[in-house]
Amino acid sequence: MRGIAASPGIAIGKSILKEEKVLQADEREINSNEVEGELERLREALEKAVKELREIQEETKQKVGPEEAEIFSAHQMLVQDPEMTQVMEEGIKNEKKNAEKALVDAVEQYASLMAGLEDEYMQAREADIRDVGNRVLRILKGESDQQENLPDDSIIIARDLTPSDTARLDKDRVLAFVTADGSRTSHSAIMARSLGIPAVVGLGREFLEEVEDGMQVIVDGNSGEIYLDPDEEKLSEYRDKLEAYRKEKERLAQFKDVKAVTRDGEEVEVVGNIGNTGDVEPLLEQGGEGIGLFRTEFLYMDRDDLPGEEEQFEAYREVAEAMGDYPVIIRTLDIGGDKDLPYLEQPEEMNPFLGYRAIRLCLDQPEIFKPQLKAILRASHYGNVKLMYPMIATLEEVREANKLLEEAKKELEQEDIPFDREMEKGIMIEVPGAVMIAEDLSDEVDFFSIGTNDLIQYAMAVDRGNERIAYLHSPYHPAVLKLIEETIAAGHRNDIWVGMCGEAAGDELLLPFLLGAGLDEFSMSAGSVLRIKELLGFWTREEAREVTEAALKLKTAREVQEFLEEKKKTAR
Ligand code: PEP
Ligand code: MG
């Protein structure tokens, strides 16, 4: 079967089906003598659940980042909720239910209550309550956490994984994951790449019917292929591939501590995309020379309220300090589209990707935007920080955002708080309309960064997360090439530098095209950095320019792809 190759690497292991659990208790009526005992069992289980959650929270904080860990603190509060505990205790005392039944009934009661509420945020709590309920029930039954029981060669198979599911994957035991839903740019895929776990997503729901627990599975995160119960021939083919992949990784390590340069010695910036503080170290390990995109929305996700200025400042400062002199481009809140914040009241939209999102929302709600601008400015005092606005479509938007930035600076000055007065500011170019007015936009900023994930989505009218039409979401389409080339040229005509932080920046085939078009900075998932550094060394800007010019004359995505494949073969 073939899905979308979401995170590179190869794994051979045993499937672990992550099913959505249904709460089910062994029901038993108890007699009066047993009441105390059941109450005690319930209390112990609740305490143990809190302890488990605290450990998971700590572990997630270490492995991924404080933002992702936040959800487990919310879960602890649910376990300790006095009202729910009271309902359970009364069930045991008055209705003579055993602890399991009292728990399940209380959880059901609260979960349906939440599900029935108007508020979207409260509705989303339903899943949390059930999740917590399952945890306590499992403890009551004397079973241990599935995570601890995973065999060493687990391949997690699920309908979808939330960012917090992904964050919790035990990297020592989980070799790969495979999901029925999702796309290359969905957030679980992005996190898989930063954790370095191979992943294939978007296989379609039918796929789940085919899999059984404990099946042998091959996951090819490079091609998107999945083999269930493979024969000996396939297995041996993939054992060889796995070995070759390991060797390739070792070979690429030589580029870790060398600067990215073209064959004739021109330095080019090869930097990485991160989603949270925990991604910094893996990026440095992979030889990243800076951060071209810090997706700050992860700081806002999986929690109950907005992070304040202080909390954001701490996170941004941590990243800025860890990167030393390397540039750190912090993108302001890019929420909406496929990234929802349940605690922010947002009206239902027919087309969320074309809706009230990113800079549009931020300009409309300066009380959300300002604290972030101030937090980023404050962090600029501690490193080489730059700021970037997402989803810019008009000149007014940039001017308005810059005005708020100036206000934020004034307020910090009044508060006597230091920041870098020269901090660069830039915009993402991810709306085709913005390309058409790029020269005017460049008057307002210090740099552009091309966001191809969205730019392709809007240029080709193709939902970036819809696997059925994924063939249209191609960086090789002539329209996309022209948009990229024009953005770089417009920026350079006005003496600003131009980078790229969409997935296309790490695309091996596209590399000479981008280099030849004059791209100054390539920002990608950590896993692509070493290979792109190597490939850059095969080209001079001049040679690459010939590729760019020739590619721009081609008429279909297929022609472009074939041409670039040819070029890659000849480059050394
Ligand atoms: C993009 O759109 O290319 C981009 C880098 O932003 P995101 O993937 O976070 O939308
Ligand atoms: Mg985008």
Write out 33-80 in H/E/C secondary structure.
Answer: HHHHHHHHHHHHHHHHHHHHHHHHHHHHHHHCCHHHHHHHHHHHHHHC
Is residue 553 classed exposed, middle or buried when 0-12, 13-18 and 19+ CB atoms within 10 A define those classes? exposed
Atom of ligand 1 nearest to the CA of 457: 2
Structural domain containing residue 482: 256-570
Contacts for 526 with CB less than 8 Å, ≥ 6 apart? 193, 194, 196, 272, 279, 282, 283, 285, 286, 288
Give yes or no: residues 162 and 210 share one domain: yes
What's the confidence (pLDDT) of residue 337? Answer: 78
Domain end among 215, 230, 251:
251
What's the confidence (pLDDT) of residue 187? Answer: 62
In a domain, 86, yes or no: no
| Cross-strand pairs, 157 | 17, 178
| pLDDT tens per residue across span 24-34 | 778 888 998 99
Q: Which of 279, 333, 453, 464 to mutate to test the pocket of ligand 1 (most atoms within 8 A of CB)?
A: 453
In a domain, 12, yes or no: no
Give yes or no: residues 280 and 388 share one domain: yes
Tell me what the mean pLDDT of segment 267-271 comes to: 97
Amino acid at the residue 30: I
In a domain, 57, yes or no: no
Question: In this structure, what CATH number is given to the domain that contains residue 463?
Answer: 3.20.20.60
Written as six digits, the tokens of 408 are: 């934020």
Domain end among 251, 268, 298:
251
Atom of ligand 1 nearest to the CA of 452: 3
Decide if pLDDT at 181 tops 60: yes
CA-based radius of gyration for the chain: 25
Decide if pLDDT at 133 tops 80: yes
Taking every pair of C-alpha atoms in the chain, what is the biggest distance, in angstroms? Answer: 87
Ligand 2 center to residue 432 CA distance, Å? 12
Give yes or no: residues 440 and 547 share one domain: yes
Written as six digits, the tokens of 231 are: 């024969």
Least confident range of 283-297, 331-345, 435-449: 331-345
Stated as kind and residue range, the H or E segment containing 510 is: none
Q: How far are the Cα atoms of 361, 370, 525 from residue 332, in angstroms, in the given order?
A: 11, 10, 19
Pair 337, 352: CB distance under 8 Å = yes
Q: Which of 184, 185, 271 to mutate to test the pocket of ligand 1 (most atoms within 8 A of CB)?
A: 185
Give yes or no: residues 308 and 418 share one domain: yes
Decide if pLDDT at 68 tops 70: no
Give yes or no: residues 425 and 457 share one domain: yes
Domain end among 211, 230, 251:
251
Give the N- to C-terminal CA distance of the chain in Å, as an integer.
Answer: 34
| pLDDT tens per residue across span 494-517 | 999 999 999 999 999 999 999 999
Q: How far are the Cα atoms of 144, 552, 554 from residue 549, in angstroms, in the given order?
A: 61, 5, 9
Ligand 2 center to residue 431 CA distance, Å? 9
Give yes or no: residues 493 and 390 share one domain: yes
Give yes or no: residues 292 and 225 share one domain: no
For residue 225, the 8-state DSSP code is E
In a domain, 405, yes or no: yes
Given the structure tokens 């270490």, which residue do they identify?
Answer: 62
Give yes or no: residues 455 and 530 share one domain: yes
Q: What is this structure's pTM?
A: 0.75
In a domain, 30, yes or no: no
Give yes or no: residues 486 and 397 share one domain: yes
Q: How far are the Cα atoms of 48, 113, 140, 293 from residue 71, in angstroms, in the given order?
A: 18, 21, 23, 24
Give yes or no: residues 337 and 471 share one domain: yes
| pLDDT tens per residue across span 336-381 | 877 778 788 777 888 989 999 999 999 999 999 999 999 999 999 9
Decide if pLDDT at 128 tops 60: yes
Q: How far apart are CA 93 and CA 91, in angstroms?
A: 6
Question: In this structure, what CATH number is given to the domain that contains residue 168?
Answer: 3.50.30.10
Q: How many domains does the chain divide into?
A: 2
3 state SS of 248: helix
Q: Which residue lies with its CA nearest to atom 6 of ligand 1?
A: 451
